[in-house]
Structure 1
Amino acid sequence: MRAAVMTGFGGPESLVCQEIESPGARPGWVDVELRASALNWHDVLVRRGRYNSPLPHVPGADGAGVRTDTGEEVLILPSLFWGDRSQAPGDEWEILGDTTRGTYAECVSVPEECLAPRPESYSWEQAAALPLVGVTCFRALVTRAGLTDGESLLIVGAGGGVATMAVHIAVAVGAHVVVAGSTPSKIGLAQQAGAESGVLHSDDDWPAQAKRLSPDGRGFDVVLDPVGLWERSVEALRPGGRVVVLGANVAEEARMDVRGFYFGQFSLLGTTMGGPQDFRGLLDLVVERGVRPPPIARAFPLSEAAAAHRAMEAGESFGKIILLP
């Protein structure tokens, strides 16, 4: 089969399309003939050597295709070996494409628990783009933060893939959504996705500005912080509110007002990508509430995986970049 093979760590040029052996059969695993794969920034980190992947290696976490054993159309959960506890992943947990061959190929093999039926309303490209960002946002907002119908949510970092998918999920849940973004255009994109309004987080008083946009002006029930601005995010909460954190690309350390935190009765929740239980919850929400799919920016043939990585690193597109075998 053909695959985009990472021949070494480095730039996009390290991805070379070549023929490799097809996955071998093993108990509990299923081969999937891929119809589309989606890029994530995580793939760039794999390519750069962050996760010490074996070489040569096929990266790629997201994909959708057809089971070779049953012919069922499926999408793939890239969260492997989650373990027995839903509260947190076990010691063997990994993301598909880290050390296990990923989805930059015509076929991929994954544990059967990592497969789910493709939503009928989603195209192949949309289905391939959903799992990683979708299950990450579902776990953050629903499993961890417990966001419910009628609550209010502030999303920090409007315009990115996580923030956009978080808007889609929160709207489907029935929450009131406000965003904090770096530019008016990114706030506009979030509003197109379903957010009610937004503020610029380049303004020093952005938490106070956002707080005034909450339904009663007292603050938000939940703040989703995928960038690491904990101390500022807490300022936008109502008493008893919760901050759920899933990233640190702006700041990896935070200074907290401990006394103010416990007098505010706040909750601080950490999260990562979800497991099979979160995946099932996400897809139930897609079917029952019509969660909008991730936006698609552009599709490349598998043979142009290097060009697809260059496009993603350029950061000029809004939406997911797709590979088509």
Structure 2
Amino acid sequence: MKALLFTGVKEPLVYTDVELPEPDESFGVVRLKAAALNRRDYWITLGLYPNLRFPSVLGSDGCGVYEGKEVVINPSIHWGDDPRFYSDDYFILGMVENGTFAEQVAVRKTKIYPKPEHLTAEQAAALPLAGLTAYRILFSRCQARAGDKVLISGIGGGVALLACQFAIAAGAEVWVTSGSPDKIDKAIAMGAKGGASYKNPDAMKQMGKAAGGFDVVIDSAGGKGFGQMLRLCRKGGRIGVYGGTAGSWEGVSVPNFFFKQLSIYGSTMGSDAEFGQMLDFVRTHRIVPVVGRVFDLKDGNEALQVMKESTQFGKVVLRISS
């Protein structure tokens, strides 16, 4: 079968023939129709993840056919029995086990779920990792509910967009930040109330005043802007953090934090139960993940370049003909 092979740090992925998977009976082989990229895949190619293995097939997200039915794959492996955090054996599909940037992938049968019927293969492939992350941080960790005012940073990425869609569907009022006015406008067209550039402190303050403060903040950046986002929180605000692309937190006022009774929740991925709940939520509310760009599998390096540039609005997806 054809696959994109990761053969070395900072090396292009190699589109080549590899052996078909021959797993034991606890695994099923999914014939893939589409796979989606995550920033994780880009970080791995730069060598920024531990326990790298060469050669290997990256890719955590996929939609395909198993036993004649369209399915999606849960990439969260060995979460464990405690819903609060993952086990010591936890990993994400696509490293250390071969992932979805191939015509076929072997996955545990317990990780194969029916595809939401209203989604295309490309849309469904965009859902698993980002959808699970967004669902857990928004609902399990930050307990977002109808009537909350929710601020989501870095709109345009897969998790941020799905968190936006989930929060709106749940009846929350959503505001967003981005360095791109165009991305803010697109989020407003999707149903967000408003937004501001994180590069403009005055605009951020004005947004906070217009909203009347925020009950929930969902952040993936950290860095210099984190303290400002905390200042925009209402009393009792909940802040969910699922990334730190801008580095360590800066400008955090400790008195502001404790006088407002704020809570900060770290979050990554989620349990099998949350994955099932996320799919049910998507079906009930007819959520459609935003797909920004679609490439053929053989053009995977072009897709990674788009991921590197962070210019896309929505998920970058690989179309697979197997």
Q: For the superposition of Structure 1 and Structure 2, which TM-score range results when normalised by the shorter chain?
A: over 0.9
Mapping 1:278-289, distance limit 5 Å = 278-289=274-285
CA distance in 2, matches of 1:251, 1:308: 25
Take 2:103 and 2:166, find their aligned partners in 1: how far apart are those partners?
Answer: 30
Could you list the structure 1 runs, at least 4 aligned residues long, displaced by more than 4 angstroms after superposition. Answer: none
The question of 1:244 aligning with 2:243 is answered no
Report what 1:269 is aligned to: 265
Deviations 1:176-203 (A, max 9, x none): 0111222321210211222111122222
Give the CA deviation at 1:255.
Answer: 4.8
Q: Is the 8 A contact 2:178 2:184 kept in 1?
A: yes
**Conserved? CA contact 2:37–2:59, under 8 Å:** yes
Per-residue CA deviation, residues 10-52 of structure 1 (Å, 9 max, x unaligned), is 14x2x11222122222242221110111111111111222224
After TM superposition, give the deviation of residue 207 of structure 1 in Å. Answer: 4.5
Q: Per-residue CA shift, 1:202-255, capped at 9, x if unaligned?
A: 2224443222222xx2x1110111111432221111111111111111132345
1:48-197 to 2 correspondences below 5 Å: 48-51=46-49, 52-67=51-66, 70-197=67-194
Match of 1:142, SS state, is: helix
What percent of counterpart residues are identical? 38
Q: Secondary structure at the match of 1:213?
A: helix
Q: Which runs of no fewer than 5 residues in structure 2 stay unpaired?
A: none
Contact residue 59 and residue 101 of structure 2 kept, 8 A: yes
Residues 115-124 or 46-55, more deviating: 46-55
For residues 254 and 311 of structure 1, do their structure 2 counterparts lie closer, same or farther at Cα, with a shift above 3 Å needed? closer
Secondary structure of the structure 2 residue equivalent to 1:269? strand
Aligned to 2:219: 225
Unaligned 5+ runs, structure 1: none
Show the 5 A alignment for 1:275-314: 275-291=271-287, 293-314=288-309
Read off the aligned partner of 1:39 and give its amino acid letter: L
How much is the aligned-residue C-alpha RMSD, in angstroms?
1.6
Kindly state the Cα deviation for residue 295 of structure 1 after the two structures are TM-superposed.
1.8
1:105 shift after superposition: 0.5
Which of 185, 206, 211 in structure 2 is aligned with 1:209? 206
> 1:115 and 1:254, CA in 2 relative to 1: closer, same or farther beyond 3 A?
farther
SS in 1 for 2:96: coil
